[in-house]
Amino acid sequence: MADLHLVIQKANASDLVMPSKLTTILAVGGLSLITANQGSGLHTLVKKYDMGVLVDAENPQALTEGVRSALQNDHSLIRQNARAYAEEHLSIRRVMARYEETVVNC
């Protein structure tokens, strides 16, 4: 496990899907620094669950400041939130249970 995981997204890609590497980072309770612009789906999701450090996409200065801040500050709550999100929303057991509920209720 790394001290900090970088999830670098292009500005126009942060609304497409959740990056696959982010799901693994969340599952291990890792600290991720994510480049996503405000208003994008990825930014909204990460902010809602407070599960990563967000900086503007394609902004080298923001990335540098974000790395520095992430490594200098205590982000244990973000790590806990990341793991909790993965357990609740990404675990196969929970996903399949919600799928079964949906199929039965149709």
pLDDT in tens, 68-89: 999 999 999 999 999 999 999 9
Q: Is the pLDDT of residue 32 over 70?
A: yes
Do residues 35 and 8 touch, judged by C-beta distance below 8 A?
yes
Nearest Cα to 79, choosing from 53, 56, 40? 53
C-alpha radius of gyration, the chain, whole number: 15
| The three-state (H, E, C) secondary structure of 60-83, written as one string | HHHHHHHHHHHHHCCCHHHHHHHH
Report the predicted TM-score, pTM, of the whole model to 2 decimal places: 0.85
Rounded CA-CA distance 40/54 in Å is: 12
